[in-house]
Copies of this chain bind each other. A is one copy, B any other.
Amino acid sequence: MDQLFNPTVIKRSTRLNETLKADVTLAIESLQPTGSFKIRAAANLVDKTPASQFIAASSGNFGQALALACKHYGRQCTIVMPDDSAMVKIEGVEHYGAKTILIDTKVESRAERLKTLAQEFPNACITNAYDHELIIEGNASLGKELAKLSPRPDLIIAPVGGGGLVSGIITGLQSENAKISVWGAEPTLANDAARSLALDQLVQNRGEPKTIADGARTISLGLLNWEIFRQHIAGIVTVTEDEIKRGVKLLFTLANVKAEPTAALPIGALLSASPKLLEGKRVCCVISGGNVDIQVYRSLLSE
């Protein structure tokens, strides 16, 4: 394998568009190696960082992506995960050859354990999943691809958690001189980015938000991400839990796409957004990943 990720998969569904009353192109990242866009960031980070070991705390998609990138480039990888993480996620990280450290988060926070590990392995690269220049640069590869879409979209909507994906897309579009508005889609239950933009200062959620969109359960945007958001984002659409669920089901039924709840945020945003935002516009929705527990997904389909 020479290349660690593939071009995004572009799909249009006239049936989905009829239901959404919008002209939508999907950019599907759920079929990437490790099942999400995160491999773009992890591959760039590991490729360009001369460390023999990488350490991150992740119970989600970044852990698997970093594990695969480290395997690919011959580095060691350690992922700190809560000991109640879904078995399928732990297995995923271990499949790609990383070491997992399972901690009881009632006794010790992930941040504390990372601090201990940093002392133990002073030469390791300790990273988070979004607030890092090489992470944003890695995700910019998607923005560059979307800049080349023909016909060119008028606006792009992508999920917002820590802000790594949206800031990467903005950066990538800029490097191609593509003037396309970028919107974020954020759960109403985790609306720190929307509030930050309204107040023009970075605010945090109180504790981890209890949204079904587990990729958006972040306390706040990263600092680097926030700087890009405040300068360049067109806006944030907040999305209710019900709209997220409807988004997952619409993608399944009308587009044959298996999306994880976080990845359905842009579709939820279209259900939520004012028709004026969309009228006569070509919209690209980024479907960021497909890793969802089988029982969660079954229950989403039943509702």
Query: Do A18 and B258 touch (CB < 8 A)?
Result: no
Which of these binds chain B: A9-17, A186-194, A200-208? A9-17
Which of these binds chain B: A132-140, A160-168, A175-183, A291-299? A291-299
Query: When chains A and B are docked, how far (Å) is the Cα of A88 from the Cα of B12?
Result: 19
Query: Do B298 and A294 touch (CB < 8 A)?
Result: no
A interface residue numbers (CB < 8 A to B) = 1, 6, 9-15, 18, 28, 30-31, 33, 35, 88, 92, 95-96, 249, 252-253, 255-258, 290-291, 294, 297-298, 301-302
Chain B nearest CB: distance from A97 CB in Å?
A: 10
Instruction: Specify how many copies of this chain sit in the oligomer.
Output: 2
Query: Do B252 and A294 touch (CB < 8 A)?
Result: yes
* Smallest CB gap from A259: residue in B: B256
User: What residues of chain B lie closer than 8 Å to A291, measured between beta carbons?
Assistant: 256
User: What residues of chain B lie closer than 8 Å to A290, measured between beta carbons?
Assistant: 256
Query: When chains A and B are docked, how far (Å) is the Cα of A86 from the Cα of B48?
Result: 53
Chain B nearest CB: distance from A275 CB in Å?
A: 21
Chain B nearest CB: distance from A96 CB in Å?
A: 8
User: What residues of chain B lie closer than 8 Å to A35, measured between beta carbons?
Assistant: 256
Chain B nearest CB: distance from A183 CB in Å?
A: 24
Q: Known: A15-B95, A18-B95, A92-B15. Is A30-B256 also a contact (CB below 8 A)?
A: yes
